[in-house]
A and B are shown apart, each in its own frame.
Chain A
Amino acid sequence: MKVVCLNLNGSAGGFFSFIYLGDSVVKMQSIWTKLGKRLILFVFMIFLLSVAVFYVARLTPGDPLQSFFGDAMETMSTEQLDAARERLGLTGPIYLQYVRWIAKVCKGDFGLSLRYKKPVSQVVGPLLGNTLILGVTAYALVFLLAIGLALICVRYEDRFIDKLICRLGTTAFYVPAFWLGVVLVLLFSVNLRWLPSSGAYGLGKASDLPDRFKHLIMPLAVMILSHLWYYGYMIRNKLLDEVRRDYVLLARTKGLGKTEVLVKHCFRNVLPTIVSVMAISIPHVLSGTYVAETVFNYPGIGLLAVNSAKYHDYNLLMVMVLITGALVILAGMSAQFINEIIDPRMRELDEAGIKIADA
């Protein structure tokens, strides 16, 4: 039996219970209660987010009917317009519109896209896959490469290879992504004619994998180059601070190799930071898909979002904001969760019941 103090009230309360239990049981319980609390919080945050976006979207100038009917609107009578407003859920005060919208969403009906005149799920569905392919591949490659490069840089700090990686990485990061894309198109599509300049696949080649891969090369290159060193540098910075700690000296004097200390000790200590950074980075990488998709005319939700915001397609925009928002909040929560498992320092306060900040 081990003595464990557990703060049942989580982070919000000031009441502390002290429970004597086996180690594993306490861990399970604390994880499940935390998970439950976070789920409630998650639903609440999604609700807040949807309210905020709904209001912002309705406040924007520009009549949504204009984007739905286009020029045909001028020939329509007032009654017809009112009927159309009714049908699209644009009548009444905003909070009523919101209540009606949320009631429909609960039934799985996200409304009509104002621009494409189709249910939103039909518009977003086929494009979601394209963006996921691009986004997930880029995300994974960016972090794998960033961690690898950061480790190499710290292992050979201030040597030639470190300086070279830093110089190249910084240059690549600060070249604006859209300009890099345009220059790549100018070079490889317009002049050399090696790679296609736009789209996700050639005409009628949707299931042709090599063709898809060809279309992915340039958007991927742009996304990786423009995000890689942002994270690589962050990780390198953290690692550089870490290798100046005393325990590194101790490990070295005990005879451990440089690489071993770096990978097994320093990297492990920096891991919570990397996990947090990975969670924060999802919207950043998603922003990257916006630019990459717009430059290369890649049919994904990034391009769709830019267009639908331009055309005041609220229903579409709402769903997209909610999708990305849900994704990010989930990631942020799991990052916090993983961090508490990796790094006991993070829950020290909760467990010991010492809350200096509340004093």
Chain B
Amino acid sequence: MSGVEANDRLETVSGADADDSLETVGGADADDRFEMVGPDYVKRESAVKVATFRDWFKGKPIIACLVFTLILMGCLFAEFLINHDPSQFYLTNLNQPPNSEFYFGTDSMGRDIYSIIWQGGRASLLIGVLSTIILTVVGVIYGCLSGSTGSFGDNVMMRAVELVQSIPTLLMILLIISLMATQNVLSISFVIGITAWFALARIVRSEVRQIRNSEYVLASRCMGSSFLFRMRKHLIPNFVSAIMFVVISSVATNIGMESTLSFLGLGLPVEVLSWGSMLALADRALLLNTWWVIVIPGAFLVVTLLCLTQMGNFFRERTNRRPSNI
């Protein structure tokens, strides 16, 4: 290693192609204890950061995702899991506590709870997702429209929402349901979705009201942007953090609502299998003091709802990372 070579390198470092030479300096034979710095020095970090598993998992609701995936898979591939016909009445085995043949016991009609849980979960999850899609689309569009029209239109739209919202959700659902013939998965998710968007619309509307007079929205208006463009480019990005949690957690709320309706005898009939229609037998189970009929399907329901909430929480926390001023 001669002095001439070192001088050459130094020249190239300060020259145009600093990138290459720095690597050779650090990599080949320069002393590791020193780092070359010059007037154009930029601190470099290795582009490929080796992420450990621990880093990647940090802050993510991994347990919730895992448990939810398990339940979801179990419901999707129910045929491989069940060991009894879920809609069959085993009349010789009424109210059996959990045992080796009926893993979670049987209810007062002699049905195998283990099999119904997997088969019925499909209906419950589907209802949750379908109704949330309906709710979000209707709520966001209505809220944006109401928030950005003139105050007369806004007043009318919000009074209309207040009017419908002044009927408790359950009573409203009840009225709609009694207009329909028999309930199935599609109709009940429609009913739940169409009666649950008011709160979302009001949140969206109040957020829009706060930002609609901002300069950038005004500028966009002056440049002749259409309503849909403004909604997509300026309004939704501004309030998406405010509603993300609401949207994801309403999947959970809607699943809960379905089970509540079925429990009250207003939702799916007992022969259509879902977690809610299983719990409709809870009254009888109370008289017979058969805890497994109440606790096991309820536990599945609650665990699913909690997993969904955890995932919703993740979205909320990511939007709130700025340090607190307090």
Contact = CB atoms under 8 A, between A and B. Distances in A.
Interface of A: 11-12, 41, 45, 48-49, 52-53, 56-57, 59-62, 154-155, 157, 170-171, 174-179, 182-183, 185-186, 190-191, 197, 237, 240-241, 243-246, 248-249, 252, 258, 261-262, 266, 276, 280, 283-284, 286-287, 290-291, 294, 305-306, 309-310, 312, 320-321, 324-329, 332, 349, 355-359
B159 A41 contact: yes
A357 B325 CA distance: 33
Contacts of B306: 170-171, 174
Given A59-B179, A244-B324, A244-B325, A174 B305 contact: yes
Contacts of A49: 163, 166-167
| Chain B interface, DSSP helix/strand/loop, else mixed | helix
Top 5 nearest A-B pairs (CB, nearest first) are A328-B166, A248-B325, A325-B166, A174-B305, A287-B168
A309 B175 contact: yes
Given A176-B256, A183-B298, A291-B170, A45 B282 contact: no
30 contacts: A12-B152, A41-B159, A60-B175, A157-B324, A157-B326, A170-B306, A174-B252, A175-B305, A176-B259, A176-B263, A178-B263, A179-B263, A179-B282, A179-B298, A182-B282, A183-B298, A186-B291, A237-B245, A241-B320, A244-B324, A246-B325, A248-B325, A287-B171, A290-B171, A291-B260, A306-B170, A306-B264, A310-B266, A321-B171, A329-B162
Contact of A182 (B148, B154, B213, B294): B294
Contacts, number: 182
B179 A56 contact: yes
Contacts of A244: 322-325
A359 B212 CA distance: 12
A248 B326 contact: yes
B238 interface: no
Contacts of A291: 170, 260, 264
Contacts of A262: 326
| Chain A interface, DSSP helix/strand/loop, else mixed | helix
Interface of B: 148-152, 154-155, 159, 162-163, 165-171, 174-175, 178-179, 181, 199, 202, 206, 212-213, 218, 221, 245, 249, 252-253, 256, 259-260, 263-266, 279, 282, 286, 289, 291, 294-295, 298, 301-302, 305-306, 309, 313, 316, 320, 322-326
